[in-house]
Amino acid sequence: MSGTYVYADNAATTRVSQRALAAAMPFFRESFGNPSSIHSRGAACASAVLKARQQVQLALGADKVGEIYFTSGGTESDNWAIRGAGEMGERSGRRHIITSAFEHHAVLNTCAYLERKGFEITYLPVGKEGLISPGQVEKALREDTCLVSIMAANNEIGTVQPIGDIGSLCRERGVLFHTDAVQAVGNMPINVEKMNIDLLSLSGHKLHAPKGVGALYCRRSIDLPSLIFGGGQERGRRAGTENVPAIAALGEAITEICEGMEEKNARVGEMRDRLMEGLLKIKGTYVNGSMEKRLPGNLNITFKGVEGESLVLTLDMKGIAASTGAACTGGSVNASHVLTAIGLDPADARSTLRISLNGENTDDDIGYMLSVIPGVIDRLRELSPLWYEDEK
Ligand code: PLP
């Protein structure tokens, strides 16, 4: 095996950037105080947290720094936004939530929890293209709708939803709008003011900050109930001593990725398209979801008759990291709910590879993948006589 290792699983997680790492380092051993302490060691940490909050505010186009709350990641932010909005709705007798069938499980399972508590949830279907239209949301809105939660970009197929239009619609109708922007931030322009977003979830480890840190944007006018009770951190809304190194890294990473986004996206999009063209030459292969409305780094591709898990493990042995289904669902062999939601049959859904590129990938990575993947597909298909039977 050569020493080449291509990491093409950036939708699962990203490498911490040098800048983010440098921002975190002082807060492990030098300035290790508690941000709530009034001595200088504490104050240094409190300023680092404030700086990071301003960096996130700027990246999201938020009006006020106090609209940014640090959390432990995307899952917590999604739980907080949806459970909080549900509790607010309940107070005014509104117990209906609109979401989509292909959200991340952090959203779907929180909605399922509220459903067990007596809420009604509308799961909007997503067509073959993997897109939700504002018209679908409009039709589903009811007098008792308290929240619309639609992801900005899908984690498996990378399709980008018209969140600005959905935001305007919700604003007109006086309904809260939450978006899970975990895959979107740093990979497409986001502006919570212009897009009329009320609540937005993001996660550090998808944008070159460490795992276990994230943020929730919550519009100032919303009195969102707490999810975690304790001390007065995060203005008393999200208790617990702040993860200062990770928060400092998140602030730096979000600044860095947003600064270079346009140039990075153009380069990443070109690499993705070259890879796609090469892989589509393989027989019995198709790409899932809209290519026009899609994150530049995402390629979700079905190789008929190839078992996805075997493909990922074989590619790993050859020095390529990619994934089948969503890595976040933790080793599950069930067909991906995203792929079945866009109409794939379970067999094809299990024969699907997600390649997710980002700014760290190079043209050589694409060349290497194109030199390895076709041979691996051929070999695995030889072991899958069923597919050959169908092709005869
Ligand atoms: N939402 C989306 C769209 C995701 O892709 C992920 C993780 O893959 C999450 C939420 C969960 O984020 P975290 O891993 O920070 O909890």
**Angstrom distance (rounded) from CA 58 to CA 251:** 10
To test the pocket of ligand 1, the residue of 79, 103, 183, 207 to mutate (highest count of ligand atoms within 8 Å of its CB) is 183
**Angstrom distance (rounded) from CA 391 to CA 79:** 46
Sign of torsion, CA 272 275 281 282? negative
Phi/psi for 306 (5° steps) reads -105, 130
Residue 333 is predicted with a pLDDT of 65
Residue 217 is predicted with a pLDDT of 99
Ligand 1 pocket, Cβ-based, cut-off 6 angstroms: 73-75, 78, 104, 106, 151, 155, 180, 182-183, 203, 205, 214, 328
Catalytic annotation on 328? yes
Is residue 8 within a helix (H) or strand (E), and if so which, with residue range?
A: none
pLDDT (tens digit per residue) in 184-238: 999 999 999 999 999 999 999 999 999 999 999 999 999 999 999 999 999 999 9
Residue 391 is predicted with a pLDDT of 59
Enter the pTM of the model.
Answer: 0.96
Residue 388 has pLDDT above 90, yes or no: no
pLDDT (tens digit per residue) in 81-126: 999 999 999 999 999 999 999 999 999 999 999 999 999 999 999 9
**Angstrom distance (rounded) from CA 132 to CA 80:** 23
For residues 4-13, average pLDDT: 97
Sign of torsion, CA 236 237 240 241? negative
For residue 145, the cross-strand partners are: 96
Of the pLDDT bands very low, low, confident and very high (cuts 50, 70, 90), residue 331 is: low
Residue 289 has pLDDT above 90, yes or no: yes
Give the Å distance between the CA of 203 and the centre of ligand 1.
Answer: 7
Largest CA distance in the chain: 76
Q: Give me the count of residues in the chain.
A: 392
Residue 384 has pLDDT above 80, yes or no: no
Give the number of the atom of ligand 1 that is nearest the alpha carbon of residue 205: 15
Complete domains list, the chain, with CATH? 18-258 (3.40.640.10), 261-391 (3.90.1150.10)
Structure tokens at 306: 């190839």
Give the Å distance between the CA of 382 and the centre of ligand 1.
Answer: 36
Per-residue burial over 196-223, b = 16 or more CB atoms within 10 Å of its CB, e = otherwise: bbbbbbbbbbbbbbbeebbbbbbbeeee
pLDDT (tens digit per residue) in 163-189: 999 999 999 999 999 999 999 999 999
For residue 214, the cross-strand partners are: 71, 203
Rg (CA), the chain: 22
